[in-house]
A and B are shown apart, each in its own frame.
Chain A
Amino acid sequence: MVPTFVGITLIGFLIMRLAPGDPAELRAAGGLGAAAGGGISVEKRGAVDEAMAQWRAQFGLDKSLHVQYAVWMKNLLTLSFGESFKDNQSVWGKIAERLPVTVRLNSWSILVVYLVAIPLGIYSATHPNSFADQVSTLTAFILFAVPLVWAATMALVFICGGDFYYLFPPGGLESLDFSDDWSVWKKIKDHAWHLFLPVVLLSYDGFAGLSRYMRASMLEVLRQDYVQVARAKGLAERVVVYKHVLRNSLIPQVTILASILPGLIGGSIIIETIFSIPGLGQLGYESVLARDYPTVMALFTVSAVLTLIGILVSDILLSVVDPRIVFGRRLQ
């Protein structure tokens, strides 16, 4: 896990620093604005160069690459991501402000993915080739091919105000007139109304995929001898399915948790940008466009950590669902 983490940060770091385009140059150009367009005098150019050098020194950009990485790693150990190039604010502060939003969005999505996919998969597997099974297979297949950007844009055009229906808000996390005086119920309703579309859009791809996995793994378990034995000794079908088959067919689904996380992070960037939700995804998009290296690097690290936590959680869950799996000692 630690080598993986170091590898991820190293890749991110190298890409950002080796890419063409000097953040100091960019900053200088941004600050000078129109003056640069008219061509600036030699003395002014000198002053700009000096300011740029000073600024590079402030952010440690004048040191060699490996030193920069070492400094960055050292800061990371003290949970400091440095200051943003854009506004000199602490990056950690920016992230701390937005992290809860993204975590909330993604936790709901994961919950929806599993709550929809598992029952659907169980039903499909216990009624193979029935009409409902075929419909859900087809739906899952089609949902897989629906581009997220299209689904989001269609929602924005047709059901979020616009010229058609106004069923959901076109963006944000709470209504404009949101106030603390509202009753708890009203607050919850407002939040749910705003979160509904983003969560559905973030999760449709996931539950389409997962329900197929669930069906496949359940069918596989249903075919095994011990299930036949359970049926032969006269157990009720409900007991066979929910007590004996379900647990074994859940094992692969747990490992999938780790693999849907990077997808969710990518999805968050798109959804948060489209629905102007102030989360990490939106921050990431804005920072990338502004070449705010410390912020981009920090977000990269945070999402890598989130993914690694996902892997860890799914490993732990794995040993809960399947007691045969023991970590620390290798079977084989």
Chain B
Amino acid sequence: MSRNESSPASFESAEFETATVAVESAGGLWSDVWRRFKRNPIALTGFYVVSILAFMALFADFLANDIPYYSVYKGKSYFPIFRSYVVGVKLGRWPAELLNVDFKKLEGAKSIFPPIPYRPSSISLLEPLEPPSAKHWFGTDKLGRDIMAGMIHGSRISLSIGFVAVGIAVVIGIILGAIAGYFGAWVDLVISRVFEIMLSIPTFFLLITVAALLPPSIFLTMAIIGMTSWVGIARFTRNEFLRIRNLDYVTSAIALGVTDRKVMFKHILPNALAPVIVSVVLGIAGAILVESALSFLGIGVPAELVTWGSILHEASGATFAWWLAVFPGAAIFLTVLAYYLVGEGLREVLDPRLRGLR
């Protein structure tokens, strides 16, 4: 962030900015951003919600699983969840007596189970569409699968959308925006035309078309979401590049014979990132909303995969089962809200001039 861009809040903070710029360390700016971000309790709450979500996604197997953490069987002790990871990466095997057993029915075994002793795929046809109870906190679906387990594991999808879809959007958006803004003239004209097309295209329709035509895969779907949602980022990047390109330090870099690529990505990009980051965070929220709509429509997501949107979809077929509608929807809502809060908080910290843009 250059000096003339920093907030004109108070004299001290202006001094502080100068100091960090003088140190020239990237960490300096970001630790300053974090310090100011922390002061906003609402944005911080959003950040904590996202962190909890990330924790849930990371440790989903330990929170909801039908195999125990620790089990004593026939005098030997096992750590089945860890073992399942070891088996998963093909480093080990299940002991013969534990291969394909149901730990809950294992006789003479003493086991410690996770708080939600189910897996999203554990079908129990004897208890379909059970309302919430002590046994199934959030109830079950029509196959008797535990909703809580489905939601905990579904958080992985929510989180990975952030990385995959928005990651792709960021790469496309920054590269196209940088090229348009840096070279200007006819290059800008052509690329801006592409932006225009992407903006007036019925994106959601394009999305369901592509997702329905390709084989159902959650990562493909995320990639498609990314490929249709880069325009906002690209336009922000272009506008920033157009502005920064004419600053003296860029002119001098060009005069010194620095290559175009180096000027674009080493000299201009770091200064153009601030407003882009806000749109990236808001983009994550948008991608989660789109994914929930897609899996609600049952497009692009494999039928056996439990996502928040697919649980919601079941509710539209069984309208008495309110728990199928309330919990997963609330989860999407809270996640999106949390990302919005973080985005708003970052917007205030990074660029006070940006208002009312989404």
> Does A209 reach chain B (CB closer than 8 Å)?
yes
Distance of A154 Cα from B315 Cα, bound (Å): 9
> Does A288 reach chain B (CB closer than 8 Å)?
yes
Known: A157-B325, A291-B213. A145 touches B336 (CB 8 A): yes
| Pair B315/A21 contact, Cβ less than 8 Å | no
| Pair B205/A300 contact, Cβ less than 8 Å | yes
Residue numbers in A under 8 Å from B163 (CB-CB):
none
| Pair A15/B209 contact, Cβ less than 8 Å | yes
Partner of A304, one of B202, B332, B355: B202
> Does B132 reach chain A (CB closer than 8 Å)?
no
| Pair A162/B320 contact, Cβ less than 8 Å | yes
> Does B285 reach chain A (CB closer than 8 Å)?
yes
Partner of B213, one of A20, A154, A284: A20
* Count, A-B residue pairs, CB within 8 A: 158
Stretch at the interface among B57-65, B117-125, B165-173, B292-300: B292-300
| Pair A7/B293 contact, Cβ less than 8 Å | no
Distance of A284 Cα from B330 Cα, bound (Å): 28
Partner of A209, one of B193, B212, B296, B358: B358
> Does A107 reach chain B (CB closer than 8 Å)?
no
Distance of A161 Cα from B312 Cα, bound (Å): 18
> Does A118 reach chain B (CB closer than 8 Å)?
no
- A-contact 0/1 string along B279-319, CB 8 Å cutoff: 00000010001001100110100000000010011011001
Q: Nearest Cβ in chain A — how far from B150, in angstroms?
A: 16
- B-contact 0/1 string along A153-173, CB 8 Å cutoff: 110111011111000001000
> Does A323 reach chain B (CB closer than 8 Å)?
no
Residue numbers in A under 8 Å from B328 (CB-CB):
150
- Which residue on chain A has the smallest CB distance to residue B210? A15
Partner of B215, one of A20, A149, A160, A216: A20
Distance of A269 Cα from B299 Cα, bound (Å): 12
- Which residue on chain A has the smallest CB distance to residue B199? A259
- Which residue on chain A has the smallest CB distance to residue B200? A307
Residue numbers in A under 8 Å from B203 (CB-CB):
262, 266
Residue numbers in A under 8 Å from B204 (CB-CB):
262-263, 265-267, 269
- For window 7-55 of A, CB contacts with B under 8 Å fall at 7-8, 11-12, 15-16, 19-21
Q: Nearest Cβ in chain A — how far from B182, in angstroms?
A: 22
Known: A142-B337, A149-B309, A270-B293. A163 touches B202 (CB 8 A): no
> Does B208 reach chain A (CB closer than 8 Å)?
yes
- B-contact 0/1 string along A164-199, CB 8 Å cutoff: 100000100000000000000000000000000000
- For window 34-86 of A, CB contacts with B under 8 Å fall at none
| Pair A8/B293 contact, Cβ less than 8 Å | no
Residue numbers in B under 8 Å from A262 (CB-CB):
199-204
Known: A153-B315, A212-B356, A270-B297. A300 touches B322 (CB 8 A): no
Partner of A7, one of B193, B332, B336, B340: B193
| Pair B297/A304 contact, Cβ less than 8 Å | no
| Pair B208/A149 contact, Cβ less than 8 Å | no
Distance of A145 Cα from B330 Cα, bound (Å): 10
> Does A222 reach chain B (CB closer than 8 Å)?
no
> Does B106 reach chain A (CB closer than 8 Å)?
no
| Pair A156/B205 contact, Cβ less than 8 Å | no
> Does B254 reach chain A (CB closer than 8 Å)?
no
> Does B253 reach chain A (CB closer than 8 Å)?
no
Residue numbers in B under 8 Å from A267 (CB-CB):
204
- B-contact 0/1 string along A293-332, CB 8 Å cutoff: 0001001100110011001000000000000000000000
Distance of A196 Cα from B358 Cα, bound (Å): 28
| Pair A3/B193 contact, Cβ less than 8 Å | yes
> Does B72 reach chain A (CB closer than 8 Å)?
no
Distance of A289 Cα from B103 Cα, bound (Å): 41
Partner of A19, one of B199, B210, B329, B344: B210
- Which residue on chain B has the smallest CB distance to residue A291? B213
> Does A108 reach chain B (CB closer than 8 Å)?
no
- For window 113-164 of A, CB contacts with B under 8 Å fall at 141-142, 144-150, 152-154, 156-158, 160-164
Q: Nearest Cβ in chain B — how far from A10, in angstroms?
A: 9
Distance of A215 Cα from B293 Cα, bound (Å): 30
Partner of A150, one of B202, B209, B285, B332: B332
Q: Nearest Cβ in chain B — how far from A268, in angstroms?
A: 9
| Pair A147/B319 contact, Cβ less than 8 Å | no
21 contacts between A and B (CB under 8 A): A4-B196, A15-B206, A16-B209, A141-B337, A148-B289, A150-B292, A153-B316, A154-B325, A156-B316, A161-B319, A164-B322, A215-B356, A258-B200, A262-B204, A263-B204, A266-B203, A266-B205, A270-B297, A285-B208, A307-B200, A307-B201
Additional pairs, 17, CB under 8 Å, beyond known A15-B213, A153-B315:
A3-B193, A11-B206, A141-B337, A145-B285, A156-B319, A157-B320, A162-B319, A162-B320, A170-B319, A266-B202, A267-B204, A270-B297, A273-B297, A284-B205, A291-B213, A300-B209, A304-B200
